[in-house]
Amino acid sequence: MIYEFMIGNYANRYWFQYDSTVVDLYEFLQCKKIQTNKPLVFKLKDKVSEKRLLSYDFYFSDGPEFISPRLANLLSSNQDFLHDVQLIDATIIVNGRSYSGYKALNFLRLISCIDMNKSEYIPLLESYPDGPKEFYKMVFKENINEQFCMARCEESEGIIVISESLRQFFIENKVKGIDLSTSCNQPIYG
């Protein structure tokens, strides 16, 4: 079984701004390794409780997702995960203070996983029918034989999926910041 990677109980004021001067956001959609010697930078414009914010493991931005040093350490020995996701050094700036040890996620896998015949969707741009889609109902394919931990959906690259084993890993390690339930009752954009 596969699950959509979704934001959990994550406050709007915790959305970071991605500084794309080091790596352009478009490169993260290519599912290829990214070469950089500089850490990526994510800034939070609002004043927040650092203690509460830094308790999360997954963070979201107007660029790539990134993870805490704790989760990066837990995943650093998981070879299946590292086969599917490149971890890129990142620094975050919160309340004017800089924190290192974070890792941006660059998804290297692209799998066909959405049953387009059973799903309900429309193109986001009428002039580009094969482009991004707005899903009203998304149905994953059954019996996906490809082994993976985390990947982009071939049918809609903005949608990220995780495997059952990775989901269980996140549950066992009490990962905070993502929704690990099995249902989604809202429109899905990808």
The arithmetic mean of pLDDT across residues 139-143, rounded, is 87
Query: Are residue 96 and residue 117 in the same domain, yes or no?
Result: no
Query: Are residue 53 and residue 117 in the same domain, yes or no?
Result: no
| Domain boundaries, position 62 | 2-107
User: What pLDDT does 98 receive?
Assistant: 97
Name the residue type at position 25.
Answer: L
The answer to whether residue 147 scores a pLDDT higher than 50 is yes
Query: Are residue 78 and residue 115 in the same domain, yes or no?
Result: no
Q: How many domains does the chain have?
A: 2
pLDDT band at 174; cut points 50, 70, 90? very high
State pLDDT tens for residues 56-65: 999 999 999 9
For the four alpha carbons of 33, 36, 39 and 41, in that order, the dihedral sign comes to negative
pLDDT band at 74; cut points 50, 70, 90? very high
pLDDT band at 133; cut points 50, 70, 90? confident
Query: Are residue 92 and residue 130 in the same domain, yes or no?
Result: no
Query: Are residue 93 and residue 182 in the same domain, yes or no?
Result: no
Residue pointed to by tokens 């990134």: 66
Query: Are residue 27 and residue 54 in the same domain, yes or no?
Result: yes
Query: Are residue 82 and residue 158 in the same domain, yes or no?
Result: no
Name the residue type at position 107.
Answer: F
Query: Are residue 89 and residue 100 in the same domain, yes or no?
Result: yes
Query: Are residue 103 and residue 116 in the same domain, yes or no?
Result: no
Choose the final residue of a domain: 82, 107, 132.
107
Choose the final residue of a domain: 107, 131, 150.
107
pLDDT band at 186; cut points 50, 70, 90? very low
Query: Are residue 88 and residue 122 in the same domain, yes or no?
Result: no
Choose the final residue of a domain: 107, 129, 154.
107
Percent over 90 (pLDDT), the chain:
70
Query: Are residue 74 and residue 139 in the same domain, yes or no?
Result: no
Contacts of 128 by beta carbon, 8 Å cutoff, 6+ apart: none
Query: Are residue 178 and residue 131 in the same domain, yes or no?
Result: yes
For the four alpha carbons of 58, 59, 65 and 71, in that order, the dihedral sign comes to negative
φ, ψ for residue 169, nearest 5 deg: -60, -45
The arithmetic mean of pLDDT across residues 165-185, rounded, is 81
The arithmetic mean of pLDDT across residues 54-75, rounded, is 96
Q: What is the mean pLDDT of the chain?
A: 90
